[in-house]
Amino acid sequence: MSRLLTEAELRKLTTPRLLAYQRSLQRVRETEVWHPDHVSGQLYKDSAEYIEHRRLLREILAGREHVAR
């Protein structure tokens, strides 16, 4: 994931695009335990930034229409 979208950018996305963005967020590493391919500034699931971003994304999706798979 190259960067997190802003709230305004998230709200402009269609529901299918939001769901795709959510799937890309789910591929973020679990924790910041050192790893041979560790990159400084990388986003991790246990970071406050990630947790808040997922909360915002869920809030936006909760107000959207349901999309069948």
d(CA 31, CA 43): 9
Q: What pLDDT tens digit does each residue of the chain (69 aa) get?
A: 668 899 999 999 999 999 999 999 888 877 656 655 556 567 778 888 889 999 999 999 999 887 676
- Six token digits for residue 11: 């709200």
d(CA 63, CA 68): 15
